Amino acid sequence: AEGRAEGRAEGLLLVLHARGIAITDETRKKITGCDDPQLLHQWLNRAATATTTEEVFAEE
C-alpha cells in the first residue's frame, strides 16, 4: 500500500504540473504526506479535469 500511495502521489503531482496548476509547498506536502491510496486515487481522478487545487481537494 505504501508503494501504491507513493506512486499515486507522484502521478498526481505530475498531472497537476502538466495541466499548469500551481503547486504550493503546502499542497506538495499534503500530497506526498498522504498514505491513503484510495484518497490519492480520488484526488488523481479530480486532477484530470480540475483547474485549481481547490477542486482537487474539494469534499464531495
Instruction: Residue 5: name the closest of 41, 45, 57 by CA.
Output: 41
Contacts of 24 (CB under 8 A, 6+ apart): 53
pLDDT number for residue 13: 98
Positions in the chain whose pLDDT score sits under 70: 60
pLDDT digits (tens, 9 = 90+) for 20-37: 999 999 999 999 999 999
- Distance separating alpha carbons of residues 31 and 44, to the nearest angstrom: 10
Which pLDDT score, from 0 to 100, does residue 8 have? 95
Q: What pLDDT does 60 receive? A: 59
Q: What is the pLDDT of residue 7?
A: 94
